[in-house]
Amino acid sequence: MLRRPQRASKLHQRVMNTNSLTQAPWHQTTVEPLEYHRKFLKENCRPDGRELGEFRTTTLNIGSITTADGSALVKLGNTTIICGIKGELAAPPADAPDKGYIVPNVDLPPLCSSRFRPGPPGEQAQAASQFIADVIENSEMLQREDLCIEKGKLSWVLYCDIICLDYDGNILDACIIALLASMKNVQLPEVHVNEQTGLAEVNMKKKRHLNIVKHPVAASFAVFDNSILIVDPTSDEENLSTGFITVVIDEEEKLCTVHKPGGTPLSNEKLQDCINRAITRNKEVCKLLNKVMKSMKAK
């Protein structure tokens, strides 16, 4: 039952509206989820109390996996993604003998949500892996030449395993943040190729960080009812949305990817709104990342 809100300050009013709306009978959320969400959108807010342009709280934990060369755990509200990077030695590709490889892989196990079944990776996981690979290549966050140890003979291969532990919508954003944070955390040992034996000698004592030149950050939006754009959708909002768009932008305001896999058509103004919001998001995430890296160094 909707109670008429009394006159109060805007924030108090919004909180009161949310409270009265969340007291909707339980069957309304399951039988008519669209109507339930529409009631909130009319008041310009969402069931969890966020505004239309507000991201969920992002928490970041770096270096939790000691067996990996670099790792990061990201929580975006309830969505939890963990990324582990392992460096291995291999011969460089024949068509680019002075470059190394970066192999990302996104895994959506049945653990994170009931919609995924055990077995080979489904379409969503494969499309997400392709998306991450494209972002790494488009943004040039890392020069592949840096991964080469000796031209034509030996180079590093970085296997990035991104696993979702809890699926509550918007995994693409969280995956990019996790990848970026773990890349900054990676420490690769020095490797020399012994000329006489031709074998690689790894010096585990001397380690150095990777040279990350760009910091791409993703911002995802869902389109509701063909017109309303909401930022950082949860799993329920994703299921009800009519379209989806992800914008990846780096700190120089260069667009790395505009990923819109079909769905409702968007006008140019709405696309520009998304880009603007992505720019502010980039600044927020870079600030968070710097704070965490500083606190790691302080240890």
Partner 1 sequence: MVCLPLDAGAHKFRHMADRRLREFGCEQNLLSRPDGSASFVQGDTTVVVGIYGPAEVKVSKESYDRATLEVILKPKVGLPGVAERSREQFIRETCEAALLTALHPRTSIVLILQVIHDDGSLLSCCLNSACMAAMDAGLNMRCLFCGVTCAIDLDGNIILDPTAKQEKESRAVLTFAIDSVERQVMMSSTKGAFTTAEFHQSIAICQKAAESIFQFYRDSVGRRYSKS
Which positions touch partner 1 (CB under 8 A)?
A: 123-124, 126-127, 129-131, 133-134, 137-140, 242-245, 250, 253-268, 271-272, 275
Q: Which is nearer to partner 1, 161 or 250 (CB)?
A: 250
- The dihedrals phi and psi of 191, each to the nearest 5 degrees, come to -125, 130
Q: Which is nearer to partner 1, 3 or 283 (CB)?
A: 283
Kindly tell me the sign of the dihedral angle through the C-alpha atoms of 93, 99, 100, 102: negative
Helices 171-185 and 268-298 sit at what angle, rounded to 10 degrees?
A: 30
Q: Which is nearer to partner 1, 129 or 185 (CB)?
A: 129
Residue 84: closest CA among 111, 59, 112, 104:
104
**Residue 84 bridge partners (DSSP):** 71, 161
Distance CA 138, CA 171 (A): 19
* Tokens representing residue 179 in the block: 């990848």
Q: Are 197 and 141 in contact (CB under 8 A)?
A: no
How many CB atoms are closer than 10 A to CB 9? Answer: 8
Distance CA 138, CA 161 (A): 19
Name the DSSP class of 153: T
Residue 212 corresponds to which amino acid?
I
